[in-house]
A and B are shown apart, each in its own frame.
Chain A
Amino acid sequence: MLLELNNVGKSFGGITALRDVTFGVAEGEIVGLIGPNGAGKTTIFNMVTGIFEPSNGHISFAGQPLAGIPPHKITARGIARTFQNIRLFGHLSALENVKVGCHTWTRAGFWASLLKTRRQREEERAVEQKASELLAFVGLSDVADLRADTLPYGQQRRLEIARALATQPKLLLLDEPAAGMIESETKELMELVRKIRDNGTTVLLVEHDMGLVMNLCDKVVCINFGVKIAEGTPDEVQNHPDVIEAYLGKEEEAC
């Protein structure tokens, strides 16, 4: 397993947000994490990326425990993410946003940057090229020089993916990547996620769009009120009675 959660729990103050969650993500898979709002999906992402420490249990990545490792080092180990409520560097251009993501595999420090050493210049060229390639990959070449916060919503979501890919992750966490997208954009997004997986990056995604989850994922994990209630193939999870009651049922009521 590339990513393993073992009996992971998290409480905020007295409130238990997650309890005894155990599941794994195998290399090369696209895994869906579903559950109603407030179920604890984003909290799982925050613990995997080191923003929160789990209150119980442990998480390991590529066989190594992640306990006590700060977020930036977890990213350097190969876990990148996007955010449910888009968190781009708004005043930077799309290209600059992706360049920031290249930080983990570049080295130029303070003095090299001041002196503009040959290695620094070569590295900057490599960064420029990599960032342009990634923008092309997510279909944003045309808007490379525009401020990130001026981009329409769907483009911002794809830009966040490009920025995360710039860290050269082994595992990519996508938090509701299709939220706010129109149908054609969601279709493009599914193609994009498949391409990312085919290029060798494992994907764990949180999504409410059931069509997307059922179409795209090799495996689905469903949590409700912080507890895992089902895990299996999309079909198995979709037809699980607890899931229907907890999640799909509610969804229909809401409609």
Chain B
Amino acid sequence: MDLFNPYNLQVITFIVLNGILAISIYITLATGQLSLGHAGFMSIGAYVASILTKQADVPLIFALLLGGLIAGVIALLIGAPTLKLHGLYLAIATLGFGEVVRVIFLNMEITNGALGITGLKSIGSTLYDWLKVTGLTGDSFGLSVLQMKAVLTLLFLLLLFGLVLFLTLRLHRSRIGRAFEAIKADETAAKAMGLPVAYYKMLAFIIGAVLAGFCGGLFAHITTTITPDDFNYHKVVEILSFAVIGGSEIVWGPLFGAFILTTLPEVLRVLAEYKMIMYGAIMVLVMAFRPHGLIGTDTFAKLFDRRRKQAARQAEEGM
């Protein structure tokens, strides 16, 4: 079956991974902060987790969590001076942060410089080892070892993605989520309503960094190889594009953006050398016709909630 081709499974796995990254950028944007530090935090998580599993034999899941946690601690440290900045100034400062991190990893011994870290034990292998303990193998499901590993990786990523999305939606519908939305809409009014704006911006920045760091660890243990260049400004632009193309008003926007931008290169593969032209053209068209991204609050209002719109119109006419 074509779906169980390990290559296709890996593409789907990357869609899911980019989904978690999309949530990471969404949460920072949810307080109106344009941070371009996500690739930097991702690389911190990737290197921390990789060094832990490879050199200290730390179990994968702890290494991943620690990668996220350390990215969060770094976010706390660099957030203190930078989060006073707004808009493009914050973007430039965080972009600079990402470059600094990259150059540090490029020059450190423990990260093996430009060659990076190779030969990591993949998530698939780790999970397959666990599976073997229970007495099951790929054969039990009629799959080859390679296929089975890819399936396990995908299931693991789906589980994590589901958990992160679930918690994000919970947060969104809470006192914290309301505070984020209020700050995004109007910081001055938010302060006047008693919200500690600096605290919430820091919180969103740290959550975004922890998730990005966690994704970095996952990325490292899917590809089994990382170099500092995996997290350069191309990655920054890629992550940001999820929100730009998909929209950043609601979490479904960046998620859809991650889906489109991860799938598109695969779909366009048939176009061979014209692939990037098409890719660019599609980006330009989306921006021309949907400047706030493909998915917005209006999308679901239009699809599911005609009645609400009607009521709004009546209220307007009534006055």
Residues of A within 8 A of B (CB): 49, 51, 70-72, 75-76, 80-81, 83, 87-92, 96, 99-101, 103-104, 106, 108-110, 113-114, 116, 120, 123-124, 127, 142-143, 145-147, 150-152, 154-155, 163-164, 166-167
Contacts and interface: CB of A to CB of B under 8 A. Distances in A.
B188 interface: yes
Contacts of A124: 174-175
A81 B192 contact: yes
Given A92-B182, A116-B170, A108 B175 contact: yes
A92 B194 contact: no
B266 interface: no
Contacts of B167: 114
A96 B308 contact: no
Contact of A87 (B170, B189, B308): B189
Given A49-B192, A72-B193, A75-B192, 5 more contacts: A103-B178, A103-B194, A124-B175, A151-B315, A164-B192
Contacts of A96: 178, 181
A190 B186 CA distance: 28
Contacts of A108: 174-176
A163 B182 CA distance: 12
Interface residues of B, number: 32
A103 B188 contact: no
A167 B185 CA distance: 18
22 contacts: A72-B193, A75-B191, A87-B188, A88-B189, A89-B181, A89-B182, A89-B189, A90-B186, A91-B297, A92-B181, A96-B178, A100-B178, A103-B178, A104-B194, A106-B175, A110-B203, A113-B177, A147-B312, A155-B315, A155-B319, A163-B193, A166-B193
A152 B312 CA distance: 10
A72 B194 contact: yes
Contacts of B185: 88-92
Interface in B184-237: 185-186, 188-197, 203
B316 interface: yes
B192 A103 contact: no
B151 interface: no
Interface of B: 167, 170-171, 174-179, 181-182, 185-186, 188-197, 203, 249, 297, 308, 311-312, 315-316, 319
Which among B182, B192, B308, B312 has the highest number of chain A CB atoms within 10 Å? B192
A23 B35 CA distance: 45
B312 A83 contact: no
B188 A110 contact: no
B312 A150 contact: yes
Nearest to A168: B194
A88 B188 CA distance: 10
A39 to B, nearest CB: 21
Contacts of A147: 312
